[in-house]
């Protein structure tokens, strides 16, 4: 896997994704290898390294991402009764691109 699956694969179109929500700067899609029955990934379209390193992006970009996370999490909660929202940092962050997982159900 590359250091940035989202830029190199999902956002480039090389790996097709099932889109859940999209804005000018954010894409939400069903995870390509889900860990939960409902597993949606929310990413900024521009490269942002992580939650603690916004790179050249301003806090406005983070606000746009979180607005989509909030909307997707509300939909998952309404449809499935609960949702979890996760992000990883440091060595736990497999893809070095800011992303949030919105998930529901017990791990697969």
pLDDT tens-place string over residues 60-92: 999 999 999 999 999 999 999 999 999 998 888
The pTM assigned to this predicted structure is 0.93
Residue 40 pLDDT exceeds 90: yes
CATH T-level fold of 5-104 = HIT family, subunit A (3.30.428)
HEC profile for the chain? CCCCHHHHHHCCCCCCCCEEEECCCEEEEECCCCCCCEEEEEEECCCCCCCCCCCCCCHHHHHHHHHHHHHHHHHHHHHHCCCEEECCCHHHCCCCCCCEEEEECCCC
Would you list the domain boundaries of the chain? 5-104
The reported pLDDT for the residue numbered 1 is 52
Pick the closest to residue 47 from 7, 92, 5 (CA basis): 7
* Position 93 confidence tier, pLDDT thresholds 50, 70, 90: confident
**Whole-number pLDDT of residue 108:** 76
């Amino acid at each position: 896997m590359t250091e940035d699956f989202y830029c190199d694969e999902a956002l480039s179109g090389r790996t097709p994704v099932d889109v859940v929500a999209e804005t000018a700067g954010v894409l939400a899609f069903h995870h390509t290898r889900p860990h939960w029955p409902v597993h949606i990934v929310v990413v900024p379209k521009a490269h942002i390294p992580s939650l603690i390193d916004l790179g050249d992006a301003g806090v406005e970009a983070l606000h746009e991402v979180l607005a989509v996370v909030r909307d997707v999490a509300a939909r998952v909660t309404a449809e499935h009764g609960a949702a979890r929202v996760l992000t990883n940092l440091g060595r736990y962050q497999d893809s070095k691109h800011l992303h949030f997982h919105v998930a529901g159900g017990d791990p697969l």
